Amino acid sequence: MTQTDILSSEQEDLRLLRESARTLFERAGGSDRARKLRDAGGGFDAEMVRELAEAGVFGVAVPEDQGGLGMGLAAGGVIAEEVGRVIAPEPVVLTIGLSLGLLRRLCPAHPKMAQLIGGEISLAVAWQERGPDGALADATCRYADGKLTGGKAWVVGAIGSLGFLVVAEGDDGPVLVLAEADADGLVIDKRAQADGSSLGELSFSGTPAVELASGGAVPTALAEAVADATALAAAELVGLSERAFEITLDYIKTREQFDKPIGSFQVIQHRAVDLNVICEVAQAGVREALAQMDSETDPKVRAPIASRAKARAVTAAKRITRDAIQLHGAVGYTDEFDIGLYLNRALVLSAWLGDDAYHRRIWFEAREAEGAAQ
């Protein structure tokens, strides 16, 4: 089989995966389902998680010898785009990028791996901490004698998770431990976000936990998993932007002013073309980044690639959703129209794991360091 045949086969696999995921989400109710779950108090649908697992969604980036499909991060990006199109609240990117990203690198034989891939459980990852001034702070959460003390902040997927993968400081350095959601001494403070989802602030007071890994491999694996999740979040933003543009395009074709659809006005047509170009460029850039990350093994190279993808996707999503609201006019601000759901999700997802300014700085610093080395 030639290289061209291999590439064609891979593209066909990704196309079929996209069609399967899109059909699954549309059959479940599309963006209307996201609105209903939001109005019901947030959270996600456990039955939908099981259906996604049956379709092989969570194991796409896990190697075959670890129980996954071995299709790589590019396949995860396909799923993430479809999640973004319907603003699905299920922890897809969280599971593929962070939870499984950590476990497959540190303890691939652990039973939780199979449970995550099978959709039986959801595990949130807790590694960041909030300082007295509310900003990001150095880690002080401690693990000793089988128990956790301290706290963790900004934990995505905390509400509804059956447990937490916690990065803490042990007696001999960093450790990754597993704490059950109903463990003694664990308090979860729910913090609402703009899109109706929630973050968790965790407080540990002698909370029982099981050590999974320790040593220098923990921060290394965490950095790689965060890079994976960052790139997948970029893909989710691309899918969100694409759908927001489609909704807006449909609207300007039907909304009339001066007895004409506003889409017939040249200035509106020019704006629509600009948004389409922005969306296409972001999509191409993010897909290329995911493919590069699949072929690259050096974490120092992969991280800037993920940052480049996230910066581009955030910039595009902000522009597209902002202009979409404007093109909808005053009704764009009402909850009756779906475009507001996409704007709020874009704001939340843009901030998660760093916004465009943050990741643009990382990318430029990496390029400068590369230039200096030469």
Q: Is the pLDDT of residue 50 over 80?
A: yes
Residues 195 and 252 placed together within one structural domain of the fold: no
Residues 269 and 227 placed together within one structural domain of the fold: yes
**pLDDT at residue number 317:** 97
Residues 314 and 201 placed together within one structural domain of the fold: no
Q: Taking the model in full, what pTM does it have?
A: 0.93
- For 309-329, how does the pLDDT look when each residue is reduced to its tens digit (9 = 90+)? 999 999 999 999 999 999 988
| Domains identified in the chain, total number | 3
In this structure, which long-range contacts are made by residues 67-75, counting pairs with CB atoms below 8 Å and at least 24 apart in sequence? 67/113, 67/114, 67/117, 68/100, 68/104, 68/117, 71/13, 71/14, 71/17, 72/294, 73/228, 73/231, 73/232, 73/290, 73/293, 73/294, 74/14, 74/287, 74/290, 74/291, 74/294, 75/13, 75/14, 75/17
Residue range(s) defining the domain that contains residue 269 = 218-373
The percentage of the chain sitting over the pLDDT mark of 70, rounded to a whole number, equals 96
Residues 58 and 111 placed together within one structural domain of the fold: yes
Residues 276 and 347 placed together within one structural domain of the fold: yes
- For 97-154, how does the pLDDT look when each residue is reduced to its tens digit (9 = 90+)? 999 999 999 999 999 999 999 999 999 999 999 988 888 888 899 999 999 999 999 9
* Best CA proximity match to 83, nearest among 35, 33, 29, 25: 25
Residues 171 and 188 placed together within one structural domain of the fold: yes
| DSSP secondary structure letters along 169-186 | EETTEEEEEEEETT-TTE
Residues 211 and 222 placed together within one structural domain of the fold: no
CB 85 within 8 A of CB 22: yes
CA 201 vs CA 24, 35, 198, 372: distances in Å: 32, 24, 10, 41
Instruction: Write the DSSP symbol of residue 86.
Output: T
Residues 246 and 335 placed together within one structural domain of the fold: yes
